Amino acid sequence: MNSRSSISAEDIADIAWGGAFLATGGGGDVTVGRMITREVLRRHGDVTMVPLEAIDDDATVVAVGAVGSPTLMQEKVSNGEEAVWALEALEAHIGRQADALIAFEVGGDNSLVPLQVAARRKLPVVDADGMGRAFPELQMETFSIYGVSATPLSIAGDLKDIAIIETRDSFIAERLVRHFAVIAGGGSCYSAEHVMDGRTAKRVSVPGTISLCRALGQLVSRHRGDLEGFVLALGAPLEAAGYGVAKVLMRGKVVDVSRRVEGGYDVGRMLVQGFAEDPRTMSIDFKNEFLVARIGDQVLATVPDLICFVDNDTAQPITAETVRYGLRVAVMAIGAPEILRTPRALQVVAPRCFGFDLDYVPLEKPKDCS
């Protein structure tokens, strides 16, 4: 495990698809990020990926990624420069250069953004991220949860509007970043944040998740059209990476999608009706990411456990902004890594943090079936 590896343009599709699966509906669109990143790596060369435990203790590690409404980001595509602008503005502000980049979340796009910037800046990326999935708000990064200040943080929009912020906490930072995305970025922007040394990164990051994205993406590609095979194959790499149980909650058809862009997030609810053998209706609430899956009063899964959609026919991961009426899906749930289940983490990522009047019950425990 403790060895560097190389990420080439040929790895990008797998990392994107695996990221899209792990991102529980969020994390950005697979298509555009994949095309841009593949092109950048072809032009600028491969990127060195360093295991979390191999990062130099004194290295300056910076998280980079895209922030915004996935719905709007589908329409207003990145120009490919914003994340570099954000990093450079942050470096100028703190007066030193990044030694390594890290993803703040995984996703169809956000697993790739650090790779793009790393290729252009000849920097390594860390094989880890700050969520082990995607969440809608930056205080939900394990970096923040375990004590790293999100700021100084810089944000850049597609017309090179830039802000550098220093805030008392990550909650305020999140709101400022989100409004910047709305005001200056047409709904999205790129940030560079959570500057930390390598010693700290080892303590506060979710290890191995970029490799995991790649492994999951390889499964997506290997099991195209074979949902059962895909589901069976998932367990081993997830378990090896410290995730909990993986299970299919329901297979059925999307019968309703209520989605709106609110305050810079995609917010809404989807209804999935089971196929004939199980014709119940499941509701899935989301805020960029899928948050709570219920059938009637029965809660089947909640944040921080992962709720993932895959296409029932192709077994390809589906992001929330692309879900539409009539889509045939399998709704899956995966136990979150322990780092997201501690009392400290649950203060920030439990269902109540998203406005649900629900306690978090780990996916592995029997649910209340009232």
Query: What residue ranges bind its own copies (CB under 8 A)?
Result: 89, 93, 159-168, 172, 175-176, 179-180, 183-184
Element (H, E) at 126: strand 125-129
The DSSP bridge pattern shows strands 306-311 and 188-197 to be: unpaired
| Assigned token pair, 183 | 């005001």
User: Closest separation between CB of residue 173 and its own copies, Å?
Assistant: 9
User: 102: burial class by Cβ within 10 Å (0-12, 13-18, 19+)?
Assistant: buried
User: Closest separation between CB of residue 60 and its own copies, Å?
Assistant: 19
User: 221: burial class by Cβ within 10 Å (0-12, 13-18, 19+)?
Assistant: middle
Which of 270, 334, 330, 282 shows the shortest CA–CA distance to 304? 334
User: Closest separation between CB of residue 105 and its own copies, Å?
Assistant: 22
In angstroms, the CA 290 to CA 245 distance is 17
Neighbours of 260 (CB within 10 A): 10
User: Closest separation between CB of residue 189 and its own copies, Å?
Assistant: 11
User: Closest separation between CB of residue 82 and its own copies, Å?
Assistant: 13
User: 324: burial class by Cβ within 10 Å (0-12, 13-18, 19+)?
Assistant: exposed
Which of 34, 18, 25 shows the shortest CA–CA distance to 322? 25
In angstroms, the CA 352 to CA 82 distance is 33
| Assigned token pair, 204 | 């506060």
Which of 251, 253, 250, 290 shows the shortest CA–CA distance to 269? 290
Element (H, E) at 260: strand 246-262
Neighbours of 254 (CB within 10 A): 20
Residue 62 or 182: which CB sits closer to its own copies?
182
Q: Are 28 and 105 within 8 A, CB to CB?
A: no
Residue 72 or 300: which CB sits closer to its own copies?
72
User: Closest separation between CB of residue 193 and its own copies, Å?
Assistant: 13
